[in-house]
Structure 1
Amino acid sequence: MREALAGLTVRGRAFLTAGITAIVCSIILDQSTLARVGVLLLALTLITVALLARNRYRLTLVRTVTPQLVAAGQPARVTLTLANDGLAPNGVLLLEDQVPYVLGTRPRFVLEGISQGWRHSVSYQVRSDVRGRFEIGPMSVRVSDPFGLVELGRTFRTTVPLTVTPRTVPLAHIPLGGAWTGSGDNRPRAFATGSAEDVTVREYRQGDDLRRVHWRSSAKLGELMVRREEQPWQSRATLFLDNRTIAHRGQGIASSLEAAVSAAASIAVHLTHRGFAVRLVTATGEEAGSAWHVRGADLNTGPLLESLAVVQPVGQPRLDTSWLGEGAHGGLTVAVFGAVEATDLPVLRRMQHHAGSAVAVAVDVGAWIGAAPSADTTRLLGQQGWRAAALRPRDRLEAVWQELAHTSAQSSRSGSSRGTQPEVHA
């Protein structure tokens, strides 16, 4: 009862005050008619409070978001399924779902005709131009009487996540250097005694099917040898994103960091669709949620895009190089840089040294604050052996990516011809 009294609306408080005032005035003025009006207003308010206070309804909510992973600018649909497992409330249900402001306005619904066993579904659409991971919910429910005198509030605790990934654009196939690595047995090696048959066999391992034993090679080498299974070969690529605060300029979605994240997302999708196993590395090191794809798994860019969706600027001045330890492989490294300082050159040189091929998209951060375009970053990268192309605010990433096909580290340094590094079309 106390909660219901506290839930009196402005109209309900006005009715209550008017009823008391009318009764007092009727006593003073000796007007019985005025007293009846006061009693009516007071009784209507108190009876409504009592009816809502004794409600014993129990609402359940199931919230689903489809899809839960959506690109920036694309809509997602939220479906709310409500059911009443208790008594019917005496009034109208007012629903309001809590959503972050970047997803749009808070949706509100009015539901009537609720009975015991009642079930109903409503839906609304959300859309964000900003990448990130957002929580939708909780939902607040207010029960109001038909006269609008009392409102009682309840709040569900559950929320559902929605991940908005960066915008991506399709990229053309260009020649990229890099070594291929096997996803199954190691690449066959010719034995010292070297025949063509020897290349397709390996030592027997416990559990191998005896039907795979190659008896001629076993007799020649004096140990049991089995035929190799043909394995698909998959190239690995490291995608590096410089997300340091000092390397970027601008604010919000118009910043150079957002352009770099979007470029990295497009490159990640492109490399994955071309059969590369891609891992994401930022200024703070390797992202745990974007490990190498395992053999036999479907190519899926979801983990990479989810990691890029939540990338935030970091205040550290130096690039982390722990990922260049024993796990470094000599395959393809594609980097998206912001501003490069002289103190970064040893790290850039080391990254290029550990890569079979080093390709970079350099975001011209000066252009993001209205300064004149600069070629310093691409020049510095070229001096360290990188193939680099600049990305400015008005440039299309597709065109910059194709420019890399005609750029080599040598031409970045001195305008000479393209190098002779082995290439793999990606």
Structure 2
Amino acid sequence: MPLTRRGIAVLVVAVLLVIAGSWGRYPLLGALGVVLSGAVLAAVGLTSRGLRIDVRRSVYPDRVERGRPALARLQVSNPGGRRRAAFLATDTAGSVTRTVRVRGLLPGAEAIHHYELPTSVRGRLTIGPLILHRVDPFELARSRLPTGETATLWVHPRQLPARPLAGGHPRHHHEGVGTDDALRGSVDLQDVREYVPGDEVRHLHWKATARTGRLMVRDLADPQQRRFTVLLDTRARVRTDDGFEEAVDLTASLLCASARAGQHTRLITSSGLELPVSGGPQAVRRLLDELSELRQDGAPDGAVIPAQLSASRAVGGGLVVVTPDGAGLASLAWLRSRFPTIFVIVLTGPEGAATVEVAGARVLRAGDAEEAVRRWNEAIR
């Protein structure tokens, strides 16, 4: 029974009045109980009728930087020939609930409502399902009607104005012999992904298209592009939640600057995640989507350098290690054969930390992401 708390209370009082009127032979009390019971039944009948309303919700933008505004647009129309009474619409965005009071609509009328979505926490938020609530004028009964589809809001990490690392071409030679077999040829096949508007039709991958039932394209990259790798220390409990958000913001700023500059860009985490992308807007989106869902994991005393970086045959370009204290990085000189330029950025947080020295790498110390980006831009100028 879709009764509200008020409706339940009125129904209990109505029953008691009917019993008291019948037992004490007070017809006035009995009549009042019948009236209240009828009011409750009428409220249930009114709210149980379907809502013949067209409701569409859209989210814009669907990808937003942490802390920037994002809105939901609720478009409500009355296609029927009768006036529709006002109702409530509730929408969920993660753990946050938004309620909109939709006014009554005349036949053929339309109303548009906007409400803000939470963007203070990085992640992938599911918006919806939208719930329509119909309440009688006395709020004795309420009906709930789920409607529409869910939407997705990507809350990306902040991007600060970092400069891309210039220099460091991917192909290096030692005594006239190339050191990276993977770079032979005019293009590298990086990935096979779903087609998006603007992709070259000549890059369609027909076997993957037939297998998946969706248009798939080859993601190709020029091996002569510069290379840039960021290794993010994601070991669990080695930093506070705020400190990890600063580290993710810094990582996003460096990677996106590199990808926008057209460089081969790779994200690696100490837990073993690896995401290589070629440059361009699609690469930036893939990196930010991945960083949106990144969490601290792995043992706090585990290795900072993952196995795939140690075993990687790819060479050239720059490597940046983002870590909170430099523990486990006494020397990176053994990586100089793969990366001619190595930086270690130590995000100490507001409490600061002791001086860190890493053999084979240049160390930058900063309290937060903004200071780290400023020091980075000065260092590569």
Q: Give the alignment's TM-score, normalised by structure 1.
A: 0.68
Tell me the distance in 2 between the aligned counterparts of 1:157 and 1:394.
40
1:74 to 2:68 alignment: yes
Q: How far did 1:78 drift?
A: 1.0
Q: Please, which of 296, 299, 304 is the counterpart of residue 287 of structure 2?
A: 304
- What does 1:49-60 align with in structure 2 at a 5 Å threshold? 49-53=44-48, 55-59=49-53
Contact 1:85 1:116 in 2 (8 A): yes
- What does 1:253-264 align with in structure 2 at a 5 Å threshold? 253=242, 255=243, 257-264=244-251
Q: Which residue of 2 aligns with 1:336?
A: 322
Q: For each residue in 1:161-193, what CA deviation from the matched residue of structure 2 results, as whole angstroms up to 9, or x when unmatched?
A: 2111112221357x754125589738xxxxxxx
Say how many residue pairs are matched.
333
SS at match of 2:337: helix
Structure 1: which 5+ residue stretches go unaligned? Answer: 1-5, 187-230, 406-424
Q: Which residue of 2 aligns with 1:399?
A: 374
Tell me the distance in 2 between the aligned counterparts of 1:87 and 1:107.
30
Contact 1:57 1:89 in 2 (8 A): no
Q: For each residue in 1:38-91, what CA deviation from the matched residue of structure 2 results, as whole angstroms up to 9, or x when unmatched?
A: 3322222223323433x1335554322111111111111111234567897985
Q: Which structure has the greater CA radius of gyration? A: 1
What is the root-mean-square deviation of aligned Cα atoms in Å? 3.3
1:43 to 2:34 alignment: no
SS at match of 1:234: coil
Instruction: Describe the shift of the 1:63–1:245 C-alpha distance in structure 2 as closer, same or farther (beyond 3 A).
Output: same
1:320 to 2:311 alignment: no
Instruction: Describe the shift of the 1:88–1:243 C-alpha distance in structure 2 as closer, same or farther (beyond 3 A).
Output: farther
1:359 to 2:340 alignment: no
Q: How far did 1:355 drift?
A: 1.2
Q: For each residue in 1:10-59, what CA deviation from the matched residue of structure 2 results, as whole angstroms up to 9, or x when unmatched?
A: 33233333333333333344444444333322222223323433x13355
1:275 to 2:262 alignment: yes
SS at match of 2:335: helix
Instruction: Describe the shift of the 1:88–1:282 C-alpha distance in structure 2 as closer, same or farther (beyond 3 A).
Output: farther
Contact 1:57 1:86 in 2 (8 A): no
Q: Which residue of 2 aligns with 1:96?
A: 90
- What does 1:387-426 align with in structure 2 at a 5 Å threshold? 387-393=362-368, 396-405=371-380
Identical pairs, percent = 25
Q: For each residue in 1:344-391, what CA deviation from the matched residue of structure 2 results, as whole angstroms up to 9, or x when unmatched?
A: 557x34433311322232223xx55x3x53112xx1x2x1x1122112
What amino acid maps onto 2:353 in structure 1?
Answer: P
Q: How far did 1:131 drift?
A: 1.6
Q: Please, which of 161, 164, 168 is the counterpart of residue 152 of structure 2?
A: 161
What amino acid maps onto 2:375 in structure 1?
Answer: V
Instruction: Describe the shift of the 1:115–1:274 C-alpha distance in structure 2 as closer, same or farther (beyond 3 A).
Output: same
Task: Report which of the two has the higher share of helix.
Answer: 1
Q: Which residue of 2 aligns with 1:185?
A: 186
Contact 2:90 2:98 in 1 (8 A): yes
Q: Which residue of 2 aligns with 1:225?
A: none
Tell me the distance in 1 between the aligned counterparts of 2:273 and 2:166.
22
Q: Give the alignment's TM-score, normalised by structure 2.
A: 0.75
What amino acid maps onto 2:6 in structure 1?
Answer: R
Tell me the distance in 2 between the aligned counterparts of 1:42 and 1:326.
77
Q: Which residue of 2 aligns with 1:209?
A: none
Contact 1:59 1:82 in 2 (8 A): yes
- What does 1:101-140 align with in structure 2 at a 5 Å threshold? 101=95, 106-114=97-105, 119-140=110-131
Q: Which residue of 2 aligns with 1:205?
A: none
1:287 to 2:262 alignment: no
- What does 1:233-244 align with in structure 2 at a 5 Å threshold? 233-244=224-235
